[in-house]
Structure 1
Amino acid sequence: MASADVKTTVSEGGLRYKSKTPGSPFKASSSFSGATMSCFLCGKHRPRSLMQTKRVLGKAQPVCAPSCKELEASLKG
């Protein structure tokens, strides 16, 4: 017996989902180098190989290497 596919929708109450596809948009990786991190400056998730650490506000933070704009331009074309 097949059930009807229910699309993910937010109820009128606000935050409850009727259904949600399982899993995460960020693939799990068994190796540390395959994981993603979010850039402290632009907030986009990138593989660790495309990140570098810079001191921002007195603390080391992961940021896009060499910069967010240059990385985005190189990835687009």
Structure 2
Amino acid sequence: MPGIRDMLLFMIGVLIGTTTAANASQVSRETDIVNLRLGERVLVDDGSCPAGQIKEVSGAKLGPAGVIPSRKCISRTGPKR
């Protein structure tokens, strides 16, 4: 019989899995991004960055009209770990 600790660990695992999937979203146009949240990152493959890079749009600041996006080109392979 699973205990509370086992259920809690399972729920944490599910939460981490869904958070990782949300951070890995990619679209082909910046206009396809809807309801960008504070801290959320979306990769945009629209060809506006140099070869080997992709545009990252992130919810950087909270303004009076909502989340203000920040844009930068990052390596397609991601940061080295």
Q: Scaled by the length of structure 1, what TM-score is found?
A: 0.28
Q: Which has the higher helix share?
A: 2
Q: Scaled by the length of structure 2, what TM-score is found?
A: 0.27
From the CA coordinates, give the structure whose radius of gyration is larger: 1
User: Which structure has more RCO (C-alpha within 8 Å, separation ≥ 6)?
Assistant: 2
Q: Which has the higher strand share?
A: 2
